[in-house]
Structure 1
Amino acid sequence: MEQSYIRIIFWIALFLLFYSYVGYGLLLYTVVRLKKWMQSNKARKTLLFKPLPEVTLIIPAYNERSCIAQKLRNSLQLNYPPHKLQLMFVTEGSTDGTTEFLSEYSQIQVIAGTVRKGKIEAINQAMKLVTTPIVVFTDANTLLNRDAILTLVQHYNDPNVGAVSGEKRIATTQLAEAAGAGEGLYWKYESLLKKLDAELNTIVGAAGELFSIRTGLYEPVEKDTLLDDFIISMRIAEKGYKVVYEPEAYAIETPSFSIAEEMKRKVRICTGGFQSIVRLKHLLNPFKYGLLSFQYLSHRVFRWTVAPLCIPLLFITNLLLAPSSKLFEAVFILQCLFYLLAIIGYMLEKNKLRIQALFVPFYFSFMHYTVFLGFVKYITTTQTGIWEKVKRT
């Protein structure tokens, strides 16, 4: 291949990788600031306070006996009128005593069964029994801040809002695994992008740990769906409703117990990403969906497909171009140094020696490695909504 073509491929790969992780965020920030400046002289719309709506909190809980007592206590202590909050636990297939424990509490509703059908089937079943106008989904292994539901529902005073996502926060410590600490950094950046996405138009994908929807907008989701939170919220957005981001409502989750456990989780998410792209391919039509298509392509599709491909492409083309100039040589050395730090971070982590400065290169490399594993799994296996649970710290 002629060197001129190699240079073109190198610069395109570099641009797309930069855009996927930095450029889109910078563009979002600039456009949002411009939007605020243009609206600065306009009277801001204030929402009139309405009586609080009735809410159902749905909590899928398969074999969660180790944390279910804490989750129940957390749910009962939420700052929301008890007569307007229905707690619904779905424990189908649990064999560790989760159902028996919850059945002792008369103030909650428990949907039980002997067959495990997976999280999305549990949600589909639960939604048939919901009678409240708003439903909130949360995971059994997360804890919500006291005002979470109160904060979420305020947005529904706006009839254009179809769903509201809370924020996922990772509880990490100095002793956290490298993958877990890296996940925490990643979600801080994701939270910033979600905030900018929401200010521009709508977020593209809710956090499954805590999100809410108008009950009437729910449509049953395919039983083999892996990213149910993403599919549910995007199908609401495609109807023209806004999916709002509310960082003051948050769910705290501990990181994965080990790198192996985090890899298992990330591979499933990446597999679900490819599944979602196929099922939501119609959203890539900007003539029909406008700004939503741009956000979906930039924030999700590029991140799940284009960026991972650009990484090896960038390395190979840079290797071929390194002898041709000092610039390409310097960039190649920097790439090698970055991946060397990632490898050192992995080796130290395996020996329980943790250096936070190595979290970023390690997690960046680790995350993209799982994308390739996820793609292979998507094209070689039959997907199911039932998966092996990840052990948490």
Structure 2
Amino acid sequence: MKWVFWLSLALAAYAYFGYALLLWVMVRLRRLPVRTGQHSLPSVSIVIAARNEEARLPAKLENLSLLNYPRELLQIIIASDGSTDRTAEILREAAPRIVPVILPESNGKAHALNEAVSHATGDILVFLDTRQSVAQDAISELVACFADSSIGAASGELLLEADDGAPSPDALGIYWKMEKIVRKLESASGSVVGVTGAIYAIRRELYTEIPAGTILDDLFIPMHIARMGCRIIFQPTAIARDRIFVEKGREFSRKVRTLTGNYQLLRLAPWLLSPANPLLFRFVSHKLLRLVVPLLLVLMLVSSAAAGGPVYRTLFWLQVLFYVLAALGTLSSSTRRFKPVAIASTFVSLNVAAALAFYNFVSGRNKVWI
């Protein structure tokens, strides 16, 4: 049982820290820059799928009106996916500033995106969501990346903020910062695995129609672009801002949805686990290993309890203490002010989400619009 404990610990540590360290070494040995140079500005089509977004749409339209990209080169397409509120009416009223695509029935975000893209005329497609606000120069920053002909897609940066607009100070914010460090290192050493769904851009000719019901368009699309031999990069100067959900369980539900999408993608695109995937090693290291960490944690706890001896008894009780801190943070939000409690509860919450994602996938509960 001792080797089970150490192997499980090594894999879990690699998933969260070792992979980032390996990328850091790769960047130190050989950084791949994005080539820049003089080029004419390409035409851009902003694509948004919306469903029952009457509360957010006015602010989103105002946000889009402040973008500093030349108006004659900018097309805005917003698809209403069978909305039952005033979403479609608001979009019609906003024409001709935008191109409204009104779908009478809801067939999911993937279908809405496909329909919206079919109306696009821009050389570059920029995908946004209704919830987040984007910086005035965000489109310009993304588009600048495509001066390099090897770039097929560029991801912007999502900043998670508290209600007062300050960066998130809690452990979830720390986790997100670590995730962005990994993306920056992946970008500097080659290609990012996936993009930020709230803000990313691709060359229009590289768009692959998304299968109905797909949860993670922001992983499906860039992985197909990578398969075509193009590079996927992270552009941290293209910024979108979002609020962390204050409603209990909303942030957790969003994480479960994302992880469920990772499982779903394996069924939709089995080639991702074959040599046909040029980012196979990165995909396994960044996405898949984290899905099995819940199993690794169980194996660590059971094997340390069964191994015997003072060392393994100590390791067992340290794990128990860690889970007690996590439970404390879950039951009492005030205790999360203490960093060890916040880190423990966030880590356990993320892995409970991964376990639930697996259950959702095997039980067929993966039909989520957004």
Which of the five TM-score ranges fits, normalised by the shorter chain? over 0.9
Structure 1 counterpart of 2:122, which letter? T
> Following the alignment from structure 2 to structure 1, what is the Cα–Cα distance between the partners of residues 92 and 229?
40
Tell me, yes or no, if the aligned pair for 1:170 and 1:183 is still in contact at 8 Å. no
In the TM superposition, 1:43-82 aligns within 5 A as 46-82=35-71
One of 145, 168, 173 as aligned partner of 2:158: 168
Which residue of structure 2 aligns with residue 333 of structure 1? 317
Partner in structure 2 of residue 365 of structure 1? 348
| Alignment deviations for residues 235-268 of structure 1 (CA, whole Å, 9 cap, x no partner) | 1111111011001112111112333222322222
Equivalent of 1:157, from 147, 150, 157? 147
Which residue of 1 is the match for residue 224 of structure 2? 235
Distance 1:101 1:58, change over 3 A: same
The counterpart of 2:296, out of the listed 303, 310, 315, is 310
Provide, for residues 197-218 of structure 1, a one-character-per-residue CA deviation record: whole Å limited to 9, x for no partner: 0111100001111111111011
**Residues 335-363 of structure 1, C-alpha deviations (whole Å, 9 max, x = no match):** 122111111111112xx665251221111
Q: Verify the 8 A CA contact 1:170 1:184 in the aligned structure 2.
A: yes
Report deviation, 1:371.
1.2
SS of aligned partner of 1:16:
helix
- Secondary structure at 1:91 match in 2: strand
Which residue identity does 2:337 align to in structure 1? I
CA distance in 2, matches of 1:345, 1:313: 23
* Aligned residue in 2 for 1:355: 337
Counterpart of 1:65 in 2: which secondary structure?
coil
Partner of 1:130: 120
> What is the 5 A alignment of 1:196-345?
196-286=185-275, 288-290=276-278, 292-304=279-291, 306-321=292-307, 323-325=308-310, 327-345=311-329
Aligned-partner Cα distance in 1 for 2:7–2:185? 26
In 1: Cα distance, 2:212 partner to 2:272 partner: 21
Give a deviation string over 1:340-390, Cα, whole Å, max 9, x none.
1111111112xx665251221111101111111111111112643536xxx
Contact map agreement 1:58 1:138 (CA 8 A) in 2: yes
Secondary structure, aligned partner of 2:157: strand
Q: Which amino acid is the alignment partner of residue 25 of structure 2?
A: T
Give identity over the alignment, percent: 33
Q: Indicate which of 4, 7, 11 corresponds to 2:2.
A: 7
Partner AA of 2:106 in structure 1: R
Distance (whole Å) between structure 2 residues aligned to residue 154 and residue 175 of structure 1: 28
SS of aligned partner of 1:66: coil
Partner of 2:56, secondary structure, is: helix
Which one of the candidate residues 70, 77, 94 is aligned to 2:83?
A: 94
- Structure 2 residue 12 is the aligned partner of structure 1 residue 17: yes
Q: 1:33 is matched with which residue: 28, 49, 72?
A: 28
The residue type paired with residue 117 of structure 1 is: N
- Give the partner amino acid of 1:97: R
User: TM-score by structure 2 length?
Assistant: 0.93
Moved more, 250-259 or 213-222: 250-259
TM-score normalised by length of structure 1: 0.88
Distance 1:175 1:132, change over 3 A: closer
Deviation string 1:99-146 (CA, Å, 9 cap, x unpaired) is 212322231111113211111110010111111110000100001111
AA matched with 1:116 = S
Q: Which amino acid aligns with 2:260?
A: T
1:168/1:187 contact within 8 Å kept: no
What is the count of residue pairs matched by the alignment? 367
Give the counterpart letter for 1:19 in structure 2: Y
5+ residue gaps, structure 1: 1-5, 388-393
